[in-house]
Amino acid sequence: MSQFSGPDPQVAANSGWDEPPARKGFFTDTSICIGCKACEVACKEWNGVPADDIAGLNLLGSSYDNTGALGASTWRHVAFIEQPKQLGTQTMGAAHTPTGPAATDALNRAADDALSGDRSLLGTDSTAVSLGMPSTTLPGATDPEGRRTDFRWLMESDVCKHCTHAACLDVCPTGSLFRTEFGTVVVQDEICNGCGYCVPACPFGVIDRRIGDKNTTKNVGIAQKCTLCYDRISAGHEPACAQACPTKSIQFGDLDELRTRAAARVEALHDNGYPEARLYLEDPDDGIGGGGAFFLLLDQPEVYGLPPDPVVTTHDLPAMWRRAGVAAVGLLAAAAAAFAGSR
């Protein structure tokens, strides 16, 4: 078995730990995530993660989300995805109903236009003003008969996957990234030199170097990501995000037990009319050897901005080195033959 691919049930032991405990991880059940972002706040508070200098508290304009993606200053990110479709077999209760009486429609249209900056229907200045808000449309506005359209919200609390085969760890030249006894992957701030090799190596775009003012922000220029609260689980506590989650969408525990629990949850959802429910990164035979953090999704991974079939970026390194060695030997043989011929 190559060290860069395939299942590795003894990942901590193979990293040099003697008699390590059971591998720990996250199971994130997006079907019960309510998008409250308590996990984001708890993560920042416990780990001292600063505000994101790029997003800050500004709405993005494309979503009600205000962080956008994982990064050096966003270790937990709750994605908001709005889709014009039903969730499983549920009935919204508003399908094919009219948008309301004419007077109500007029007020709704005026308010809707105001959100886009056009205040002419309100009887005030008609100059369009950008309010920095996502554009909205009335229910049924796109239907020629004015009927309401159904839609659903998908929420997903994303995090570092703590891959079984972690390319970020493989390419780190200083050893600042290491595998813990719990099978998780952690950055040691005092060793990282900020080279950034780990950034393009991650197939999920998780890890990044922190930006900001060095006088006011810690670890600027250093690679940063989720540690799965290594300090907390070492002391027998669950990670801050899992403890703060009010619906237990984020579940922490022994990875094997979480996989069993997740399989039962998917089966229950299928039985209750949600055939699109699926697990993501729970399979040890996938391209990263399975994730230490895996997810229950209600649609294709691409809908959530996740790669559908991720592969560790160092997967082909052994074959590449073998080919390079063969090429080097061939060049040396050719050079030796040319030298001998010249004599």
Per residue in 78-108, pLDDT (tens digit) is 999 887 766 666 554 544 444 444 444 444 5
Write down the pTM of the prediction.
0.76
Write down how long the chain is: 343
Cα separation values, 20 from 11, 48, 120, 184, 235, Å: 10, 28, 68, 12, 15
Distance CA 20, CA 17 (A): 6
**pLDDT at res. 212:** 87
Please calculate the CA angle 1-288-162 and round it to the nearest 5 degrees.
Answer: 120
Name the residue with tokens 């294709």.
Answer: 300
Percent of the chain with pLDDT over 90: 58
Q: How confident is the model at residue 337 (pLDDT cuts 50, 70, 90)?
A: confident
Q: Report the distance separating Cα 202 and Cα 166, nearest Å.
A: 8
Mean pLDDT, rounded, for 190-206:
95
User: Do 85 and 152 contact (CB within 8 A), yes or no?
Assistant: yes
> In 3D, which of 37, 98, 24 has the Cα closest to residue 241?
37
**CA nearest 221: which of 94, 53, 24, 5?**
53
How far is residue 105's CA from residue 116's CA, in Å, rounded to a whole number?
A: 17
Nearest of 4, 75, 76 to residue 311 by alpha carbon: 4
Percent helix, strand and coil across the chain, each to the nearest 5: 30, 15, 55
Please tell me the distance from the alpha carbon of residue 48 to that of residue 41, in angstroms, as a whole number.
10
Q: Is the pLDDT assigned to residue 168 strictly greater than 90?
A: yes
pLDDT for the residue numbered 330: 84
Q: Which residues of 13-45 are buried (b: 16+ CB within 10 A; e: fewer)?
A: eebebeebeebbbbbbbbbebebbbbbbebbbe
Per mean pLDDT, which range of 32-41, 83-92, 236-245 is the poorest?
Answer: 83-92
Dihedral in degrees, nearest 10, Cα atoms 38, 42, 44, 46: 180
